[in-house]
Amino acid sequence: ERFLDTELGPHVRRVYLFHMLAERPTELRDVYTIPAGRLATATYDAMFGATRSAMRKAMNIEPDAVERSGAKIIEALERIEGELGGGDYLVGGRFGIADLTAASLLFPVLRPAEYQYVYPPTSPGLEAFREDLATLPVFAWLQGIWSRHRGESAEVPA
């Protein structure tokens, strides 16, 4: 879990935000304001320029860092696959916090069907990255974690 939090999470966030901020900023707003209503949406829109700059600076959301983060994500996925050793779960032969952490942190890339809201359109760059990751065997394992342990969609009506 600690490895995933420190060596995977920041890289997934950087890649996701890089593409969404550059290619789909309105849809990114929708992700953050779905349950909040019109006031939150208007506030987000008014502050978007400053927020985008602050996010880019705080998380080093720059092309060279994003490229390194993509490689780190692949390294982490390869480690997860190695830890699985052909098994169904990362620790102890049953679903646990490590499995939940991996599936949750990779959520923005996985886009599992079990998510309770309608997904906003993804960015072309993020979709290309997702397609690359989908070729890795561990990607199917991650989707399986969502389908086995999240169950039916708990979609919240808009």
Q: 143 is written with which tokens?
A: 């989707």
First to last CA, the chain: 33
- Residue 152: pLDDT above 80? no
Which of 6-15, 77-86, 108-117 is least confident?
108-117
- Residue 154: pLDDT above 70? no
Mean pLDDT of 106-110: 90
Position 158 scores a pLDDT of: 53
Model pLDDT for residues 47-100, shown as the tens digit of each residue: 888 888 998 999 999 999 999 999 999 999 999 999 999 899 999 899 999 999
Mean pLDDT of 2-8: 92
Q: 117 is written with which tokens?
A: 């809201």
DSSP assignment of 19-43, as one string? Answer: HHHHH-HHHHHHHHHTTT-HHHHHH
**pTM for this one?**
0.84
Model pLDDT for residues 19-42, shown as the tens digit of each residue: 998 998 888 777 777 777 788 778
Q: 27 is written with which tokens?
A: 């849809």
Cα–Cα distance measured from residue 124 to residue 129, given in angstroms and rounded to the nearest whole number:
9
Mean pLDDT of 128-141: 94
